[in-house]
Amino acid sequence: MNILVLLAHPNKSSFNHAIAAECLKALDENGHDVEFRDLYDEQFDPVLPYEEISRQGRVPDSVREHGEQFVQADGIIIVHPTWWGQPPAILKGWIDRTIRPGEAYEYVPQANGLGRPRGLIRARAAMVFNTGNSPAIGPVNEYEDPLQTLWRDVVFGVCGVHHFHRRVFGPVIISTRQQRIQWLEHAHADVASTFPQTN
């Protein structure tokens, strides 16, 4: 399988980078092909110009490449920190610019005049790992967790991915080395379970 791994953290020594490395390790062990994109390392521009908004909008080749990888991947993994209850702006801008109507999703007309979203991407499984430092970080009721709604329902739900798994690690700032080792083991096991060994 071809798996897209997307990382959004500016510090190469961060725990997010360690999570991404563990995901790559698990995928390699199970024989998958991987497209790894580090948004900060690439200096991805998150600003959506007006000219790109419509379906016929002119999109730079570098952005179109991201979009094509998202659409064509058999599976998707996203790793990011939680800042102010949201993904970093660079990742939100990546969503704005690369997940495009007519390519990643479309709206099917209904009798009430509104459209029903239909996903167009190939992936049937997606994962999100995110970290945080808030004392409230950790398992919470999914209806009180805006990131769960964003990723599961708004992004992957609209794009047609219904096998979704997310794990939250934190608070990272007060975690021990042993805790972080265990968290990486959890990430490795999650990836290996979601994307098992190829035949």
What tens-digit pLDDT sequence spans the chain (199 residues)? Answer: 999 999 999 999 999 999 999 999 999 999 999 999 999 999 999 999 999 998 888 899 999 999 999 999 999 999 999 998 899 999 999 999 999 999 999 999 887 877 889 999 999 999 999 999 976 555 454 446 889 999 999 999 999 999 999 999 999 999 999 999 999 999 999 999 999 997 6
Cα within 13 Å of Cα(186), Cβ side: 15
- The predicted structure's pLDDT at residue 136: 59
> Could you identify the residue written with the tokens 């390519």?
103
What is the spatial distance between Cα 16 and Cα 180, in angstroms, rounded to a whole number? 11
Whether 175 maps to a domain, the answer reads yes
Helical H segments across 99-156, by residue range: 146-148
Its domain, for residue 15, covers 2-194
Instruction: Give the type of residue at 129.
Output: F
Q: At 67, which CATH number? A: 3.40.50.360
Q: Is residue 189 part of a domain?
A: yes
**Residue 97 falls within a domain, yes or no?**
yes
- Would 105 be classed as within a structural domain? yes
- Residue 199 in any domain: the answer is no
The pLDDT, as a whole number, for residue 137 is: 57
Give domain status of residue 126, yes or no: yes
Q: What is the pLDDT of residue 134?
A: 78
CA 113 – CA 110 distance, rounded (Å): 6
**Length of the chain, in residues:** 199
- Indicate the number of domains in the chain: 1
Q: Which two tokens stand for residue 40?
A: 């900060």
Residue with tokens 């179109």: 64
How confident is the model at residue 143, as a pLDDT?
44
Specify if 77 maps to a domain. Answer: yes
Instruction: Look at residue 115 in the predicted model and tell me its pLDDT.
Output: 82
pTM assigned to the model: 0.93
Quick one: tokens of 193? Answer: 């379970």
* 109 DSSP 8-state letter: E
